[in-house]
Amino acid sequence: MLIFSLIAAAILIGIDQLIKLWAVGILQEQGTIPFFHIGNFEILDLTYLENNGAVFGSFAGMRWFLIGIVSVMLLICLWGIIHYRNHSKLLSISLSLIFAGGIGNLIDRIFRDGRVIDYIEVKLFHFAIFNFADCCVVIGIVLFIFYVLFSDTQKNNSNNKNIADSSPEKEEERENA
């Protein structure tokens, strides 16, 4: 599962960087391109934006702080991917998505003077402008929360312990004690 997680993360990082190259090369000149409209009802546009902050522009201009925080979080994700590689497919997928999205945006922060290229604008309810890497992080976090809340790992561990405690050998040890 470790190799799959790392290959998947590498592919997602590549997709993110290719889309950002397109955004810089094509979208930057045009500013906004209508993308998904139904009649006069605007749902999504592709709008070029350089964001020097984090979520909703928070921590704007704090490039090195953001690089540091993201780097620590990426190391934790990588440790989780390696340490829990055989634990759960859902956990591996969620950590791989978070890792890939974090690396995608970290590349921008390091090589674009702290600015992350964003391009997906939700027009339906005037939400923030974001990018593919952000989507990976958000989907990964949602899957991770789902894993934490609904995983049977804790139940299985306690059931296995109870089964082991009620084995004939354990019963005999208790009777002899």
Active site residues: 118, 134
Structure tokens at 25: 């090369």
Q: In the beta sheet, which residues pair with residue 118?
A: 49
Decide: 12 and 104 in contact? Cβ < 8 Å.
yes
H helices within the chain, ranges in order?
2-22, 28-30, 63-83, 89-111, 132-150, 153-165, 168-176
Decide: 34 and 47 in contact? Cβ < 8 Å.
no
